[in-house]
Structure 1
Amino acid sequence: MLGFGSIARAETRLQFWDMIWGPPEYITTAQKIVEQFNSEHPGIQVEYRSIPWSNWYQTYVTAVSSGSAPDLSTGAGYQAVQLYQMKAIRPLDDVISQMKADGDDKDFAPGTIDTLRFDNKYVSLPWGLDIRVWFYRKSMLEAAGIEPPKNWQEFREAAKKLSTNGKYGVVASGDTGGSHYVLSSILNNGGGLFDEQRKLTVSSNPRNVEAIEWLASIVADGSMHPASPGYSSDDRRAAFFRGDAAFSLDNPTIYNQANADIKDDIAILPPMEGLHGDKGTIFWVNNIMMYEQTKYPKEAAVFLRWWSKNQLRLWTEGHSGQIPARQSFIKDAVAGDDRYQYVVDNYIPIGKTTATAFKGIFPELSEIEGEGVLQTLTQQIFQGVPAKDALAQAEARLMEIAK
């Protein structure tokens, strides 16, 4: 078992790569937290690097393949398990064992530590829970005399009524953030990409087909902002903030990025019922991982545990869009924000992973989300390609990935 006490080596230097999990303040806050660690641990100096989401999958695979991976990083929900299969991730079993011995594991949201277990190994440690939430502009619905929709049929009717005079019911994007519309809709309708045996059911599951046809119907109605297929997530948010559309799917605290004059006009839509009464949305347990290429696993473990216990400021100052995996952080992270608390109480319980029916995670999930096939599917739907045709193309590519 690794020892996590004092480290004798003089000034070990570690590389820590962190995804951009919030607005610019997030990066500044994360850098300050690393500086605090460095001042408290003169024998271990951590160099912080923020990694953008554009081409994130290629960034890590290239680093691993070239022998230039960091010592530690945060990453997308399934990144660690996929890189573990590439023999690039160092299991955290010793770290988790010590956390269980001192009771620290009990601070994490139920099931989140075990969610990150694969091949009988803990491949990473949870830090943030990410989920997609439907938002709406209160003033636009009120002006049209529309109540917040409770189900898909009401949503479609509202979106159609709101699409007038250069405004639209829904705005989306054609990037990774846009693919969350597809995943969220499938899960909201009780569908899923896989069955209990990890077999692909993309086009064979009628619930999936219904979900994609529902999205396609919004496009056919003229209710989807026509620029959506080419929009980035930043473009989508800007359009929603401008009032170009009434509904948008995004991270739990996106309203914090809006100007003060419209922040209070952004409301959370209660979880909707799909065509069969199901509720659900896409959900990830984002995590921090250690790489096999590290020369200093003991020192990296010291930083990993310290970072896990001292990252509350990522929410209170950095405005991270995640929900803390540590339950002791939630009260301070929420800090009287009723919308944030609503997400914790009403959306987190209905969150589902991309694996859905399969209990656990597996390596292909990272490539499925990062390779681009879901983005292509999303763009096709928003461009009016028939749902069954688009799903069949997506499944063919997903089967190649699964093999």
Structure 2
Amino acid sequence: MRLTTCDAGIILGRVAGWGQSRTPASIVFVRRRTKNPALGTGSEGQDMASPNPRPALSRRGFLGVAGTAGIATAGLLTGCNRAATGGSSGGAKPLKFWNMPWGNTQFNPLDKKITTSYKPAAGLSPATYQVIQWANFTQTFSSAIASNTGPAVSSGGGTQAFQFEAQGKIAYADDLLDSWKEDGLYDDFLPGLIDTMKVDKGFAAVPYNLDMRVLWYNTKLLDQADVEPPKTWDDFLKVCAALKKNNIYGYGTAAGAGAYTGGHILVSWMIGNGGGLFDANHEPNMVTPENIQAIDFVLECVQKGYVDPRSPSYTSANAQSQWRAHKFGMGFDTAGLANNIGGTVAKEITVGSPLTSPSGKKGMLYFPNNIMMYTNTPSQKSSEAFLTYYYKNMAPLWTQNTGIGLPPLKSITQTDGFRKDKNAVKAIEEYQPISRTWAAPGSKALFLGVTTVDGTPSMDTFTQSVLGGKTTARAALTKLQDATAKAIKALG
């Protein structure tokens, strides 16, 4: 998984007239981030392809996307690729499918082939295919949706569906999911995935590809330090101490420009200890015993020299360079880290098992990217028929090494093509079952308020202060909670 964050342009939004987004970002996938004065920048993510940092919006998130009407679209869509059209269906109006560059250079051509091979039943719409680049994608979507010239179906930023759902632009997926219960597709989804898309009025989207955060370690360096891979938080400290004797950092991370993984892992420590950011009422509730214990643990790692002191300013590229230079012996990243690093080191590193916290629990933060349907469609039946076809025929995107994130369907994870990557298999089998979204611990499903912590300035400040060791756990969490509450209030 490679994703990169990129800084995108200004867009009119629900909050302070700006929009943010969240996309995969780090290497040949890209997550991007946009600057949002009120809510912040986007977040970082990575997918499984080669390194290819991008400019700036974050796939997962889509903060404040075009809440105000009147955004002209003519000039904003010039960067889009020409749409490719599938087979016709008796003159029915084509259905627009917009997808993102989720992988390497092989991804979109294959994705286009799958889309344009769709042969709809009589009376249903054929599909056209258009690639929307991560750079300025928030502008592209927000302007198109506001003017009713956008897609009927699309992927996009990971929290984009929740932004547009709040604006009444999303067609709920409830009927589609009910139909999948009848043909078996519903039960093919990995455990808990579909529930992450549930909002009060229905399902805002359908899970598509997963961006996981996992523990990595260099087998060669651990062998040289004569230490076993960690299984608990205490083990983690012991491995870090052993690596430090060889001048190697055991807590490899990054929290500089566009590098959101550092913040993701702080939240992962909280989730792994039974904590998290939001309660069951979707209110920020961060100053808890579980969270304080988790951040105190990280501060201990910082104070003992297990964290590279330059980590608060490291980009994803900087962190990958440290892995290649054998300066990081252990750390956290996306499931595509080995692919992003490449070379001999890629063969030395492997995904470790989730760590057990002092509370006896395990957990990590993850990002279920998704596909959404819009109310502006030739017909809802056409949108649902196309998505049914697409999900039943998209397996080659994973089995042919296109670099897309981890698959949402159990059947794909059982294919020979997918199982060739032992690290991806371990991420699915050991991490997906214990991973939670930004909404943890209060709920499983995402909601509009999570956009206030997804790559925002307040989250960046929190992360850099903790990794810099210049705060206490309570002070850092209190500041983050106050900023988040203020940002949620601004959403209205």
Common fold, TM-score beyond 0.5? yes
Q: 1:230 to 1:312 in 2, by over 3 A?
A: same
| Residue 64 (structure 1) shift | 4.5
Partner of 1:114: 195
AA aligned to 1:120 is K
Residue aligning to 2:73: none
- The letter of the residue matching 1:186 is M
Give the letter aligned to residue 46 of structure 1: T
Partner of 1:38 in structure 2? 116
Within the candidate set 343, 364, 370, 2:427 is matched to 343
The whole-number CA distance in structure 1 between the counterparts of 2:304 and 2:229 is 19
Please give the secondary structure, in 1, of the residue aligned with 2:130: strand
Following TM superposition, by how much is the alpha carbon of 1:136 offset from its aligned partner in structure 2, in angstroms?
A: 0.5
Q: Is the 8 A contact 1:129 1:286 kept in 2?
A: yes
Aligned residue identity for 1:391: L
- For residues 173-192 of structure 1, the C-alpha deviation after alignment (integer angstroms, 9 at most, x for no partner) is 11322211111111111111
Does 2:332 match 1:249?
Answer: yes
Would you say 1:102 and 2:188 are equivalent positions? no
Match of 1:238 among 295, 314, 321: 321
Unmatched 5+ residue regions in structure 2? 1-86
Q: Which residue does the alignment assign to 1:201?
A: 285
Cα distance in 1, alignment partners of residues 436 and 281 from structure 2: 17
Contact 2:240/2:251 (8 A) holds in 1: yes
Q: Structure 1: how far apart are the matches of 2:199 and 2:188?
A: 21
Structure 2 residue identity aligned to 1:327:
K
Greater alpha carbon shift after TM alignment, 391-400 vs 63-72: 63-72
Structure scoring higher RCO (CA < 8 A, sep ≥ 6) equals: 1
Higher helix share: 1
Give deviations 1:51-110, integer Å, cap 9, x for gaps: 43x787677556655766443322454332232112232212332233234333222223
**Counterpart contact for 2:323–2:345, Cα < 8 Å:** no
- The number of equivalent residue pairs is 393
Q: Which amino acid aligns with 1:84?
A: E
1:17 aligns with 2:134: no
Distance 1:256 1:94, change over 3 A: same
Aligned partner of 2:362: which letter? K
Offset at residue 310 of structure 1 (A): 1.7
Q: Provide the residue aligned with 2:129 in structure 1.
A: 47
Give 5+ residue unaligned stretches, structure 1: none
Answering whether residue 311 of structure 2 is matched by residue 228 of structure 1, we say yes
Q: How does 1:2-401 map to 2 (within 5 A)?
A: 7-9=89-91, 12=94, 14-18=96-100, 20-22=101-103, 24-25=104-105, 28-41=106-119, 44-52=126-134, 64=145, 69-163=150-244, 167-174=248-255, 175-203=259-287, 205-294=288-377, 297-320=380-403, 322-332=405-415, 333-359=417-443, 360-386=445-471, 387-401=473-487
Residues 1:107 and 1:378: Cα distance change in structure 2 (over 3 Å): same
Give 1:47's aligned amino acid: Y
Asked whether the equivalents of residues 77 and 366 of structure 1 are also in contact (C-alpha less than 8 Å), the reply is no
d(CA) in 2 for partners of 1:68, 1:230: 40
More off after superposition, 331-340 vs 80-89? 331-340
Residues 157, 60 of structure 1: CA spacing in aligned structure 2 closer, same or farther, 3 A cutoff? farther
Separation in structure 1 between the aligned mates of residue 461 and residue 140 of structure 2, nearest angstrom: 20
CA distance in 2, matches of 1:119, 1:96: 16
**Cα separation, partners in 2 of 1:321 and 1:249, compared to 1, 3 Å:** farther
Q: Counterparts of 2:112 and 2:389 in 1: how far apart (Å)?
A: 10
Q: Is the 8 A contact 2:118 2:389 kept in 1?
A: no
Q: d(CA) in 2 for partners of 1:134 and 1:236?
A: 14
What is the identity, as a one-letter code, of the residue corresponding to 1:291?
A: Y
Residues in 1 aligned to 2:278 and 2:198: alpha-carbon distance in whole angstroms: 18
Q: 1:65 to 1:152 in 2, by over 3 A?
A: farther
The answer to whether the Cα contact below 8 Å between 1:14 and 1:45 also exists between their aligned partners in 2 is: yes
Deviation (angstroms), 1:218: 1.6
Contact 2:172-2:205 at 8 Å conserved across structures: yes
Distance 1:11 1:82, change over 3 A: closer
The answer as to whether partners of 2:303 and 2:469 remain within 8 angstroms in 1 is yes
Q: Over aligned residue pairs, what C-alpha RMSD do you find?
A: 2.9
Tell whether the 8 Å contact from 2:282 to 2:449 is kept in structure 1 after alignment: no
Whichever residue aligns with residue 203 of structure 2, its letter is Y
What does the per-residue CA deviation read over 1:148-195, in whole Å, with 9 as the maximum and x for residues that have no partner? 122222312322442367642222111322211111111111111122
Q: Are the counterparts in 1 of residues 162 and 447 from structure 2 also a CA contact under 8 Å?
A: yes
Q: Give the letter for the 1:149 counterpart.
A: P
